Amino acid sequence: QVQLQESGPGLVKPSESLSLTCNVSGGSISRYYWSWIRQPPGKGLEWIGYIYYSGNTNYNPSLGSRATVSLDTSKNQFSLNLKSMTAADTAVYYCVSGSNLYFDLWGQGTLVTVSP
Amino acid sequence: SYVLTQPPSESVAPGQTARIACGGENIGSKSVHWYQQKPGQAPVLVVYDHTERPSGIPERFSGSTSGSNSGNTATLTISRVEAGDEADYYCQVWDSSTDQVVFGGGTKLTVL
């Protein structure tokens, strides 16, 4: 059974970059869509971006050019880099996957707080 | 950009039927997916492609669309509601015209 597990810092300073990694276990990353979704405390879900196993990417335009999603097939991982963090980026970040841009596989989520 | 609109809250008595709406322009022409999120947990897919249920999701959960032409409202219906169904529910589509994933704002379902 495929499982996803996020890892990364729980605290980031304003203006710094966030780097999160999602480890994929129990299956190959060389298929489907791999995405990041976040949820600010007490608020709804926000899609950040996806990478297809072929390498194609797409991002939520609300983030401008701050987000980058990448794939490391040798490690069976994918990653999120989010630049110029502000307090508004404080959220639980989920790595997720699905075959057709719906998400049937979710990581447990990791809380990232932006604070000096 | 494409917008999905959900009521912030719904309430239902145990054993009754809950209906959670998701509005969007020509939503009937898009594949609509629904997620259930309980407090402190990651969301779980409960309906995909309008009406399909993932393995392990009870038949009490079903999806539909309604409205003129291609339809403007998608609905998640939960039959014979149980206390354990109390959760936040989100609808989601992929907007092919912009290649964007879009979520509704979520509906908090309270079981009275």
* Residue range B18-47, pLDDT digits in tens: 999 999 998 988 999 999 999 999 999 999
Q: How far apart are CA B57 and CA B46, in angstroms?
A: 6
Query: How confident is the model at residue B72, as a pLDDT?
Result: 85
CB–CB of A47/A37 below 8 Å? Answer: yes
- Nearest residue of B to residue A104, measured between CA atoms: B45
Is residue B64 exposed (0-12), middle (13-18) or buried (19+ Cβ within 10 Å)?
middle
Does residue B60 register a pLDDT over 90? yes
Among B1, B42, B48, the residue with its CB nearest the CB of A102 is B48
Query: How confident is the model at residue B67, as a pLDDT?
Result: 64
Q: Across residues B95-101, what is the average pLDDT?
A: 90
pLDDT band at A101 (very low <50, low <70, confident <90, very high): confident
- Tokens 């790595």 locate to A95
Does residue B96 register a pLDDT over 60? yes
Does residue B101 register a pLDDT over 60? yes
Q: How far apart are CA A16 and CA B86, in angstroms?
A: 38
CB–CB of B61/B47 below 8 Å? Answer: yes
Q: Across residues A16-22, what is the average pLDDT?
A: 98
Q: Which residues of A touch B43 (CB under 8 A)?
A: 45, 94, 103, 106
DSSP A17: P
Neighbours of B18 (CB within 10 A): 23
Neighbours of B38 (CB within 10 A): 13
pLDDT band at B71 (very low <50, low <70, confident <90, very high): low
Pairing of strands A18-25, A3-7: antiparallel
B54/A104 touch (CB, cutoff 8 Å), yes or no = yes
Query: How confident is the model at residue A30, as a pLDDT?
Result: 81
CB–CB of A23/A5 below 8 Å? Answer: yes
Cβ neighbours for B25, distance < 8 A, ≥ 6 positions apart: B2, B3, B72
Query: How confident is the model at residue B57, as a pLDDT?
Result: 97
B43/A108 touch (CB, cutoff 8 Å), yes or no = no
